[in-house]
Amino acid sequence: MTWGKKIWGRKRHLLVDTQGHVLAVKVTGAHRSDQEGARALLSPLADSFPRMALV
């Protein structure tokens, strides 16, 4: 929590194509690791984007 603002932190995970177009967005709490956020974003999309690759 940011005590001055009294709000909890957020992380925004974005899936974009090679031209920067946003394909998907997932917002998680800041206490989650980046790895957990990426899994939460990418796991449900594996069938929708079969050519998606790890870079």
pLDDT class of 47 with cuts at 50, 70, 90: confident
Tokens 């001055």 belong to 4
pLDDT attached to residue 14: 92
Phi, psi of 25 (to 5 degrees): -135, 140
Which is nearest to 42 in space by CA: 20, 26, 18?
Answer: 26
pLDDT attached to residue 54: 66
Q: Are 32 and 26 in contact (CB under 8 A)?
A: no
